[in-house]
Structure 1
Amino acid sequence: MKTLLKYTLALFLLASTLISCSSDDNNTTTDELANLTKFKEITNDTHTIELYSPIGSLEQGYNEISIRIKDNITDEYVTNAEVTWTPIMHMAMMNHSCPKSTVEKATPNGTLYEGYIVFQMAQNATEYWDLKVDYTLNGTAYSATSVIDVPASAKRRVNTFTGTDGAKYIVAYAEPHHPKVAINDIVLGVWKMQDMMNFPVVDGYTVKIDPRMPSMGNHSSPNNVDATQKANGGLYEGKLSLTMTGYWKINLQLLNAEATVLKGEAITDTVLESSIFFELEF
């Protein structure tokens, strides 16, 4: 009888431990995916690559993207891969890529890998984007590719233009995700087209910002701070003052390291908008 009781107690403790471990694993996964929604799966013979974003989709402009790689046999998620990605726009007469970051682990022991991609143009009836994900796992190289949906953004979030220096630039809006009537932290990015496949970050420039409300006499707001980098290779950060809800046009000027204006116009009584701008409505 004592032996039976000991055996029963051992089974109970083992079951409790397994339940606890399973619960911890689920909590870890849940925490990793907080504020993220899966919008796509890309598969090959060995793995399923899950794509996540804060809005549960992609759009023209700057996109924060997270991925997880699941083993198709064990259903376990990979935690030790080296990952790169290559977005390609397939046009009628040519193909090109776009600005993108490296892919990094979100946390050292987690399953998420993250970065950003800036789609400077939207898909249309005949032209489309695909995404190739290359990864190395335990010395073995893998790859998977799939078409992805990149619809046009409802408001302007990205500008593509040629500067007065002859270079082609992309300036894209990243944050705030949820603007408020306040002085908001604004984050944006500046990239230069090196060739059709490479768009490196531009370092040491300044993006002047001038928010205006066209429906309210084109009035501006106080205490805006132009966007600059904190470190080479990074995004640009500034302060965006929004004094009321409604539609705002964030007029921009791009200045190089010598403070020469490469694109964009200062707003005056006769110049009501810049040729490069972002749009917000909240």
Structure 2
Amino acid sequence: MKLKYILPILFIALFTTACSSDDDNNNNTQINEVEGLTKIQDIVNSNHTIELFNKTGIFYTGYNHVTFRIKNTDDDTYYQNANISWMPMMQMPTMQHSCPRSTIEKVAGKQTIYEGTVVYQMTGMDGSGWSLTFNYTIDGVDYSVTDTITVSQNSNQNVTSVMASDETRYIIALIEPENPIIGINDLTVGLYKMESMMSFPKIEDYTITLDPRMPGMGNHSSPNNTDLSYNISDNLYHGDLSLTMTGYWVLNLKLLNDANTIIKGEDVTEENPKSSLYLELEF
């Protein structure tokens, strides 16, 4: 075959191979940034869709870790640089209130993913009661979107709201262990103060004593527990929880303020089998 015919054929072949390689590389670099998560719901306005994810796809009473991303509804792309805040709201017959929540932050190492935590004190089934509002800014333009949400009841009391002797309402939420084991577990809780109907700041430098019991087994306790103390690195309270067997446990607590005065909770005795301040877990 003459050279003038061979050269065009080689050029076409090389061009086709290069295009195919580029396509393959583009496909390989598409990363699913919400892999392993389940969508809770979409909250939509005329410009954008805010997608909400967590591990279960359900909001439960107690501590919820939530992952977000914002989609442009015109071209289905996701925004990499947005400033976003949120306001959960419970509408009751005669009043409304919010709940403890973190700020929303961009996840390090992710292009389009944001995250935050929220503590729901009560249920809101079938879209009644709870709503969620997002206010956000993209490229200097402000947007807002609101929708109702469903909050299901956790099977155990993993959050409690109590009035203490200092006339302040506190909220304590169980965070870890998420998957308890027989042995020593890292126990982590969040402690919040109801400053107003809309403000629930975290509380520093208190102490929470721990006495786990098994009501179905003679209300016995367990060895090697440690009380919970404040950790400045994550603004949460940490201690050691010893679980000697599977089953239903009541985590009896006492709340001590920064002056080491008990402001809520009591010792467990034969006459008083459970503190008025407690959380539950079962495994």
Amino acid in the other structure paired with 1:185: D
Q: 1:65 to 1:133 in 2, by over 3 A?
A: same
Report percent identity of matched pairs. Answer: 42
Per the alignment, residue 3 of structure 2 pairs with none
Q: Is the 8 A contact 1:91 1:127 kept in 2?
A: no
Asked if the contact 2:124/2:149 (under 8 Å) is kept, the reply is no
Partners of 1:115 and 1:81 in 2: CA distance: 14
Count of residues in correspondence between the two structures = 278
Question: Is 1:180 the equivalent of 2:181?
Answer: yes
Q: Equivalent residue of 1:33, what SS? A: coil
Deviation at residue 167 of structure 1 after TM alignment: 0.7
For 1:163 and 1:188, the matched residues in 2 are separated by 17
Q: Which residue of 2 aligns with 1:238?
A: 239
Aligned positions of 1:63-74 closer than 5 A: 63-74=64-75
TM-score where L is the length of structure 2: 0.94
Aligned-residue offset at 1:18? 2.2
CA RMSD of aligned residues (A): 1.6
Instruction: Please identify runs of 4+ aligned residues in structure 1 that moved more than 6 A.
Output: none
- 1:167–1:224 CA distance, 2 compared to 1 (3 A): same
Question: Quick check: 2:127–2:150 contact (8 Å CA) kept in 1?
Answer: no
Q: Which amino acid in the other structure matches residue 16 of structure 2? A: L
Structure 2 match to 1:274: 275
Larger Rg over CA atoms:
2
- Stretches of structure 2 that go unaligned for 5 or more consecutive residues are 1-5
Residues 218-245 of structure 1, C-alpha deviations (whole Å, 9 max, x = no match): 1111111211221177111111111110
Alpha-carbon distance in structure 1 between the residues aligned to 2:139 and 2:127: 39
Contiguous gaps of at least 5 residues in structure 1: none
Match of 1:256 in 2: 257
The residue that corresponds to 1:15 in the other structure is 20
**2:60 alignment partner, SS class:** coil
- Are 1:204 and 1:232, in contact at CA under 8 Å, matched by a contact in 2? no
Query: Which residue of structure 1 lines up, in the alignment, with residue 55 of structure 2?
Result: 54
CA contact (8 A) 1:203 1:232 kept: no
Indicate if the aligned counterparts of 1:203 and 1:233 stay in contact, CA closer than 8 A.
no
Match of 1:43 in 2: 44
Q: Judging changes above 3 Å, is the alpha-carbon distance between structure 1 residues 124 and 51 closer, same or farther for their aligned structure 2 residues?
A: closer
Query: More displaced, 226-235 or 238-247?
Result: 226-235
Whether the 8 Å contact between 1:91 and 1:126 is mirrored in structure 2 is no
The 1:10–1:124 alpha-carbon spacing in structure 2 relative to 1, beyond 3 Å, is closer
- After superposition, residues 63-212 of structure 1 pair within 5 angstroms as 63-123=64-124, 127-212=128-213
List per-residue Cα deviations over 1:164-201 (Å, max 9, x = no partner): 10111111111111111121111110100111111111
Q: Secondary structure at the match of 1:13?
A: helix
Deviation of residue 5 (structure 1)?
A: 2.2
